[in-house]
Structure 1
Amino acid sequence: MVISNIYTKKYFKILFNAFAIREGHDNTSSSIEQHKSSHRDPMKHSFGDGAKTSETQSACHPNTSDRPTEMGDKKVIFSAVAEHGGPYGPFNTDKTVVFNTVITNLGGAYNNTTGIFSAPVAGFYYFTFFYHAGGEHKSVLLLFKNCDLIVRTSDHKTSSDTADNGGNAVFVQLQKGDEVYVSLAKDSHVWADERHTTFSGFLVTQL
């Protein structure tokens, strides 16, 4: 009977150890599965996760290709030189200076036959004009917008100064069709040769 009890105790101990090992194995497997579940491969996310990610990125970084283009696509640039073989003036009346030799005329807004710039679009424009002249007569150049004087540059007649140089520059708001030109004042002159006397402008921003 004693021997039987000893074997019985050993039998239950073996069963207990086997059960404990099995339980430990099951717990370990469960922990491993939980670990794997919490560290899924980001490349294996569902389509729904990817769709949400795309929506978030779209909200933070909107597609600029869907935006309307800005109005300032029109390009207007010109430069021209007055080349008339020497002195230009004096005349007995005001006279529009014809800058007859075109250096550049992107947009075709400057007319080198009339000397007049016509705004192709409404916007802000920048204009410059420069001259070279002798001192035997006064020099007066006037920049007009339509019939309105905008700015001028001038120098007085003098016997002590044999050569004069002058110029001016301005930003002007124009409507489509407005005209801008340089006028030589009555009884004044400039030197219109050797690329000294120029008229230039460009569109800064379109309205």
Structure 2
Amino acid sequence: MKGLVCLLLLLETFVFVNGGLNENEISQQLSSEDRRQNPPQTDTLRAEASTDSQQYCHLCFPDIHAALRELTATVTEQKANIRELTTTVTEQKEINRALETRLRDAEQAAEQQTISLEELKKKTDETSDLTLSQVEELRKENSDREIAFSASLMESGDGYVGPFTTEITLTYKNVFTNIGNAYNPITGVFTAPLRGAYMFRVSVHGYGGTTAAASIDKNGERVVTAHDVQPQGVLNSSNGVVLILEVGDVVYVRLWSGSRIYDYSPNNHSTFSGFLLFPLREDELCRM
């Protein structure tokens, strides 16, 4: 404002000195002077805006090349990470496939094992049934094969048997054991109920002066003899034999003629015993 006032004073002085100016000239000069003193605000604002924009761009993007380099490095690093992840995923897929294969194999093995267990259980049940049946048959068969007997001469008291002018079959009346009832205490005869190997024993007891002798006979034939003789004192003798018998074969003890034996019930000196060792099949007999 001070500049404007000074300008006006100068103009007045100039008019006074030069004889004055008209109004138009004065207005033009004032307008020109005002534009010189106060340039249009639009240019100023445009310049200020350009300056602000440059300052803003400078603040926002201080170094675009550095940012690009940093971004490139980040992208490269991300690519490396992606490659590693891709490799890891691929390896994991392979591991998963291997695990799936193992799982299928395990399932198949388990299924096969289940089938095997079921078959084994079935066979076990069949074997168990068969075994029980066989055991029952063997029990029944063995019950028929349980054959054994043992007996002494005197059922009670004591005394001699003999001597006789001919041989006689001795009857052992004091029966200790008679499993299978193959021995007859009335006749003194053992009858074989099945084919097999049998063991027999005989013992005789007497006193000197008379012979003590008896033999085991099979089907009327002498097999072994128990014999003792001396002028005085106690006489004792025994013998045994294993015989192969067919069903119906008979075994018994024969007292020799002119011989005698003694027995005393509580002590049971003179005895006859026999039992089945084991049964025999036809082919076993043929090999013998």
Say whether the fold is shared (TM-score over 0.5).
yes
Hey, what does 1:111 align to over in structure 2?
184
Tell me what 1:90 maps to.
163
| Contact 1:79 1:103 (C-alpha < 8 Å) held by counterparts | yes
Say if 1:64 and 1:124 are closer, same or farther in 2 by CA, change over 3 A.
Answer: farther
TM-score of the superposed pair, with normalisation by structure 2 = 0.61
How much has 1:30 moved relative to structure 2? Answer: 3.9
Give the structure with the higher percent strand: 1
Q: Work out the CA distance in 2 between the residues paired with 1:65 and 1:178.
A: 38
Answer yes or no: is 1:163 the counterpart of 2:234: yes
2:255 corresponds to 1:184? yes
| Runs of 4+ with >2 A deviation | 1-6, 28-59, 62-72
Output the aligned Cα RMSD: 3.3
Cα pair 1:72 1:205 within 8 Å, conserved: no
Q: CA deviation at 1:34?
A: 3.2
Distance 1:169 1:49, change over 3 A: same
Q: Is residue 2:237 matched to residue 1:173?
A: no
1:110/1:42 CA distance change after superposition, 3 Å: farther
Cα distance in 1 for partners of 2:159, 2:269 equals 10
Q: Distance in 2 between matches of 1:58 and 1:135?
A: 73
Identity of aligned residues (%): 27
The equivalent residue for 1:14 is: 78
Amino acid at match of 2:273: S
- Change over 3 Å in CA distance of 1:63–1:127 after alignment to 2: same
Say if 2:217 and 2:224, in contact at 8 Å, map to a contact too: yes
Is 1:129–2:202 an aligned residue pair? yes
Q: Which has the higher contact order (CA 8 A, sep 6+)?
A: 1
Give the paired residue count: 203
Alpha-carbon distance, 1:139 to partner: 1.3
1:125 maps to a residue whose letter is Y
Alignment match, 1:202: 275
TM-score calculated relative to the size of structure 1: 0.82
| Structure 2: stretches of 5+ with no match in the other structure | 1-63, 281-288
After TM superposition, the structure 1 stretch with the greater mean CA deviation from structure 2, 164-173 or 192-201, is: 192-201
The letter of the residue matching 1:18 is I
